[in-house]
Amino acid sequence: PPIDGNHSKVIRFLEGFSWKDVPVEPYKQDSEGYKGIERRELAGKRGESTKFHVRYFEIRPGGHSTLEKHRHEHVVIPLRGVGEAQAGCYIWKVGFGDVVYVSPSDAHQFRCPPEATEPFGFLCIVNAERDKPVAADGLGVCHICE
- 91 CB-contact burial (10 Å; exposed 0-12 / middle 13-18 / buried 19+): middle
List, by residue number, the catalytic residues: 124
- Distances in whole angstroms, Cα of residue 64 to Cα of each of 10, 53, 67, 133: 30, 21, 9, 16
| CA-based torsion, 4, 7, 13, 14: positive or negative | negative
